[in-house]
Amino acid sequence: MRKGFFFLLEFLGIIFLYLIPIVSISYIAVYELLHFFHPSIESFILSGKLPLLVMLIVFILELIIHFRFKPQQRKLLRELGIKPQVRRYKIGFWANTRSQKIKHTLYNKNGLLLLFTLTSILSLGVVWFQFRLPSGYRHSLSGVAPFFTMSGGIALATLILSTLYTPYAYEKVSHRKIYILMPMYNEPIENIKNSFESILNQSLLPTELVAVDDGSSLVDYSEVAEEYRKIFAEKGVSFQFIKQKNSGKRAAQLNAYNHLEISDFHNEIILTIDSDTVFDEHAIEQGIIPFEDERVYSVAGVIVTRNVTDNLLTVITDLLVIGHMVLIERSMNSMFGSVAVNSGPIAFYRAEVLNLAKKLGYKNETFGRVRVEFSDDSFLTLSAMLLGRTVAQMTAVSYTDLPNKLSHHVRQHLRWSRGSFIRGFWRLALFPVSSFVFFRQSFGWAMFAAMNVIKYQLIYWVFFVMSDFPLILIAPLAFSAVYSLAYLSIPRNDLAKRDKWIVFFAFPFTVLWAIFVLSPVRIWGYITHRNTGWGTRDKIEL
């Protein structure tokens, strides 16, 4: 009974994820062709023609990118005998895994919360279609309503599939050598010590830690490095400290990697971390478990916001990044073996991934003849994706700080947006059109473009047409509320249950922030993608 229920969820989630966009776009196109002429300019402005046209233009551009962008990388991959995989989804695998009565002590989805989430999804669908389908009723916004149906349908299918996710677990896990690469640049010494201590307190210790000072001008790490060299030696962990002139995070990582003596590039693991990372005590032990599957080449751990209670900005960011992106989007992508971007503070790779990244130009990547200094996490994840499956392990947890000031928050999202734009070209160019990677990237960009057009249509409607308050304007709020339920399942010892509920109830602000702040920031990041410098830290900020 239990297995059958989860199998049904999995089957419906897969069907909806693929069919909803196809059916919706077909319906919109047919409807707009049948109603090609409009009685007024106003009805044309509020029709579905403009967002549909934008979507079609984006799809055409994406196909051009697929066939024309980065031919030298394709040639190099062919010479190396590497063919990006389509990654067929195995129906029933996750339903079977989820139905097994293996209780994860570090990660446990509450059955009542799952039931409430599914009930909320069903209720949303019933209410929405009750609004959409009354006989003879047509609202002035009916032309854009199908786009909300499509966007909401994909979101809910994603949510359904994410409920099936469960961390990897095996009765016996192979012993592996684990090497940690830690670039450091003007990081406070206290943060470095906290990071070192969290590594020393691991239930499974690494083989070696290589820390690289990337030409810091504000801090001298020599003394603390010598202090911890002895402490790590007492624990049987090799420690190297290297200084280099300021060359960037990628150069520091490769410098550290080149100092390693690796004998088995497939089975020995590289763990990249940031210099302010603090690990949960089981982070490394849990992070290497998925590598028991020979097809897995990278594992994304979870970053938990250490300073979530600082202010409303950190609450909103935590709910968006952890509650929505990690617990839902990444969980679902992991089931397809296609996690697009790992979290820099805790990302595991087979050593051969770093070898491929070097050959693909990791240290000196250019885009439009401009050197790209950021987006290191997505580059390494994509390199792993070219070799095999990229997955998430929600029981491998690290703690980090997120920006608590608006200026830093905006700059961070600008950097993420520029990196996402550049890496999107690679995904579209290097993966088959029939692959899940291509599907998610292409529809992601197309829907983002269409929904931005619809945003301005709604603004026009509010100022010049509005005669009542349609349910369509509540849809994003309802979706955000259901998405945010996942946040309550995070096992956090550092956060009281009351604080988790406070974060959850920030979902209305999260919607407004995403629409009116982060969406314009993302567009500006796309437009200014050639500003690819990381920027120099001349002061410490969160």
The pLDDT of residue 250 is 93
The pLDDT of residue 497 is 77
Residue 472 has pLDDT above 80, yes or no: no
Pair of tokens at residue 120: 């909320």
Quick count: other Cβ atoms within 10 Å of Cβ 441?
23
- What are the tens digits of pLDDT across the range 295-351? 999 999 988 888 888 889 999 998 888 888 888 899 999 989 999 999 889 999 999
Q: Which residues contact 429 (CB under 8 A, 6 or more apart)?
A: 65, 66, 68, 69, 70, 73, 74
Q: Is residue 56 part of a domain?
A: no
* CA dist., res. 437 & res. 85, Å (int): 9
DSSP character string of 243-300 = EE-S--HHHHHHHHHHT---S-TTTSEEEE--TT-EE-TTHHHHHTGGGGSTTEEEEE
Residue 162 has pLDDT above 80, yes or no: yes
Q: Kindly tell me the number of DSSP H helices and DSSP E strands found in the chain.
A: 21, 10
Residue 134 has pLDDT above 60, yes or no: no
Q: Is residue 406 part of a domain?
A: yes
Residue 220 has pLDDT above 90, yes or no: yes
3-state SS of the chain: helix, strand, coil percent to 5? 55, 10, 35
User: Per-residue pLDDT averaged across 93-112, rounded?
Assistant: 65
- Give kind and range of the element (H or E) at residue 128: helix 111-132
Q: Is residue 316 part of a domain?
A: yes
Paired strand residues for 181:
210, 272
CB distance 309 to 395 below 8 Å: no
Higher pLDDT, 131 or 186: 186
Compute φ and ψ for 301, nearest 5 degrees: -85, -175
What CATH number does residue 275 fall under?
3.90.550.10
- What are the tens digits of pLDDT across the range 23-66? 889 989 998 888 888 888 888 888 899 999 999 999 999 999 99
Q: Is residue 268 part of a domain?
A: yes
* CA dist., res. 156 & res. 177, Å (int): 40
Residue 495 has pLDDT above 80, yes or no: no
Candidate ranges 93-107, 383-397, 455-469; pick with highest mean pLDDT = 383-397
Pair of tokens at residue 500: 């988790």
Q: Is residue 267 part of a domain?
A: yes
Residue 110 has pLDDT above 70, yes or no: no
Sign of CA dihedral 195, 197, 202, 206: positive
Q: Which residues contact 15 (CB under 8 A, 6 or more apart)?
A: none
The pLDDT of residue 469 is 63
Quick count: other Cβ atoms within 10 Å of Cβ 64?
11
Report the chain's mean pLDDT, rounded to a whole number. 86
Compute φ and ψ for 386, nearest 5 degrees: -70, -25
Specify the range with the lowest mean pLDDT, choosing from 89-98, 283-292, 309-318, 511-520: 89-98
What angle separates helix 2-34 from helix 145-164, to the nearest 10 degrees? 160
Specify the range with the lowest mean pLDDT, choosing from 122-136, 294-308, 451-465, 520-534: 122-136
**What is the pTM for the complete model shown?**
0.90
Its domain, for residue 324, covers: 178-413
DSSP character string of 18-30 = HHHHHHHHHHHHH
Higher pLDDT, 229 or 144: 229
Specify the range with the lowest mean pLDDT, choosing from 138-147, 176-185, 250-259, 371-380: 138-147
Q: Is residue 396 part of a domain?
A: yes
CB distance 209 to 182 below 8 Å: yes
- Structural domains of the chain, count: 1
Residue 221 has pLDDT above 50, yes or no: yes
Q: Is residue 229 part of a domain?
A: yes
Q: Is residue 5 part of a domain?
A: no
Percent of the chain residues past pLDDT 90, beyond the cut: 49
- Give kind and range of the element (H or E) at residue 182: strand 178-184
- Residue located via tokens 């210790």: 205
